[in-house]
C-alpha cells in the first residue's frame, strides 16, 4: 500500500507482504521489461505526483536496508529470472505451441509481448514455458543481424520480466520438442 507520507513504512509493509518494487517517480514505457537489471525487484512508478521523488527515495533506501539486513529473499522475482545463457537449453526442452493453457490475463500479456517484437523476425517465434519459475520464454531469430531476441514473461506476477539480444540462431531448436 502506498502511503505518500511514509516511503519507509510503505517499504516495510511491501516487504512483509512480499510485494516489493523499485519505485521511480518518472513514467515507465507501457510495454517494456520491468525487472531492473541490477535489482531483484520490478520497477513501479508513482509518476505525476508532487510527493513522488521523496517517497521513492525513502522507499528505496528502506528496501536497500532490508536487503542488507536479510539478503535477497527467495520470493524476489529476480531469483526466478532465467539467465541469458539458459535460454537456448530451455527452448530445446520446454517448448509450447501457444498460450492456450494459461489464464486469460497471462495469455493476453504473453500475446502483447509476442506482438511487440513481431516486426523483427521473418519466422514465427519459438515459445517455451518453465513451470518451476512460472516464466514464458519467447524467442525470435533476427537473421538480418544474426541475433536471437529472448523475452521473459513472468506469469506469477504478470509482468514483462526481461529482454535479451544475443548472437546466434534458432537452427536445430525450432520444433525440437514440439
CA atoms within 13 A on the CB side of 143: 7
Residue 175 lies in a domain: no
Q: Does residue 89 sit in the same domain as residue 27?
A: no
Into how many domains does the chain fold? 2
Q: Does residue 25 sit in the same domain as residue 85?
A: no
- In 3D, which of 26, 28, 21 has the Cα closest to residue 62? 21
Average pLDDT estimate for 79-108: 93
Q: Does residue 134 sit in the same domain as residue 155?
A: yes
Residue 173 lies in a domain: no
List, for residues 51-68, the tens digit of each pLDDT value: 889 999 999 999 999 999
Q: Does residue 67 sit in the same domain as residue 139?
A: no
Q: Does residue 25 sit in the same domain as residue 84?
A: no
Residues above pLDDT 90, as percent of the chain = 70
175 has a pLDDT exceeding 60: no
Contact 29, 1 (CB under 8 A): no
Q: Does residue 47 sit in the same domain as residue 113?
A: no
Q: Which of 57, 77, 97 is the last residue of a domain?
A: 77
Range of the domain at 70: 7-77
**Residue 158 dihedral angles phi and psi, to the nearest 5°:** 50, 60
Ranges of beta strands (E only) in the chain are 21-24, 42-45, 95-96, 126-130, 135-142, 147-154, 159-167
Q: Which of 33, 57, 77 is the last residue of a domain?
A: 77
Q: Does residue 149 sit in the same domain as residue 98?
A: yes
pTM of the full predicted structure?
A: 0.88
Amino acid at each position: 500500500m502506498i502511503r505518500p507520507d511514509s516511503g519507509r513504512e510503505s517499504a516495510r509493509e511491501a516487504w512483509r507482504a512480499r510485494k516489493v518494487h523499485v519505485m521511480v517517480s518518472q513514467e515507465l514505457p507501457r510495454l517494456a521489461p520491468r525487472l531492473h537489471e541490477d535489482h531483484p525487484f520490478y520497477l513501479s512508478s508513482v509518476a505525476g505526483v508532487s510527493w513522488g521523488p521523496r517517497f521513492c527515495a525513502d522507499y528505496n533506501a528502506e528496501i536497500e536496508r532490508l536487503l542488507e539486513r536479510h539478503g535477497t529473499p527467495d520470493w524476489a522475482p529476480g531469483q526466478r529470472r532465467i539467465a541469458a545463457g539458459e535460454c537456448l537449453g530451455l527452448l530445446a526442452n520446454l517448448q509450447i505451441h501457444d498460450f492456450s493453457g494459461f489464464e486469460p490475463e497471462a495469455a493476453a500479456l504473453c500475446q502483447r509481448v509476442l506482438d511487440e517484437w513481431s516486426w523483427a523476425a521473418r519466422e514465427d517465434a519459438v515459445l517455451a514455458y518453465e513451470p518451476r519459475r512460472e516464466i514464458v520464454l519467447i524467442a525470435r531469430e533476427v537473421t538480418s543481424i544474426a541475433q536471437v531476441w529472448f523475452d521473459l514473461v513472468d506469469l506469477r506476477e504478470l509482468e514483462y520480466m526481461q529482454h535479451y539480444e544475443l548472437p546466434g540462431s534458432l537452427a536445430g531448436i525450432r520444433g525440437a520438442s514440439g
